[in-house]
Chains A and B, each alone.
Chain A
């Protein structure tokens, strides 16, 4: 089976940096995705990692270490609109197109 763990909630101040960790145990690995989900809305794609290292996309960066089963999403220069749930999703081997999601991390940005 697959197990994906991420913290339940994190709070940070506007303009600050927050790092959301995700650890996973899967039968093989075919990629890790990060999605953002505002309350009552659909998840929207943020990033995709399949090789080790850092992927940077504007204020958002995502890191992957396959040997450690670990990823993080880094949110810089936090804005109030970044208050949302952040979902880590993994695709294991032989699971093409089958996303296994973590429970999500609720980020609360305060003024």
Chain B
């Protein structure tokens, strides 16, 4: 049973560029959430996708956008990259988007902005 997978593992970009990160949920899961984790901090909620729509959003600017595909996989897009966007980006999947649903995390994508 494949767990949550993310690609790429690592990425280096320069300020002003755009980046797309990808996530495939655990088999049988239909909900994907994205988090940003700065070094030494806990993950910060970016947004959650269910039924191909954004259902919840954290305190992130519109430069952060996403998409969910019919097969439940998801993309996170970040435009006009800033140095402060350097972080580990985690994807988590769950079955349904209710409060009681355990979220399974992928290994993350380490983004470095120079």
**Bind each other:** yes
Binds B, one of A12-20, A55-63, A71-79, A93-101: A93-101
CB-contact partner of B42 in A44, A96, A104, under 8 A: A104
By size class, the interface of chain A is: 20 to 34
**How many chain B residues have a CB neighbour from A under 8 Å?**
30
Min CB–CB distance A19 → chain B (angstroms): 19
Query: CB-nearest residue of chain A relative to B44?
Result: A101
Q: Which of A63-111 contact B (CB under 8 A)?
A: 87, 89, 91, 95-104
- Once bound together, how far apart are the Cα atoms of A48 and B98, in whole Å? 14
A97-B48 in contact (CB<8A): yes
Contacts of A102 in B (CB 8 A): 42
**Given A31-B100, A41-B107, A45-B102, also A97-B40 (CB < 8 A):** no
Closest residue of chain A to B108 (Cβ to Cβ) is A42
Interface residue A43 (Cβ < 8 Å from any Cβ of B) = yes
Q: Does B72 contact A (CB under 8 A)?
A: no
* Given A31-B100, A43-B90, also A99-B45 (CB < 8 A): yes
Complex: how many Å from CA A35 to CA B101? 14
Q: Residues of A with Cβ closer than 8 Å to B?
A: 4, 30-31, 33, 35, 41-45, 48, 50, 87, 89, 91, 95-104
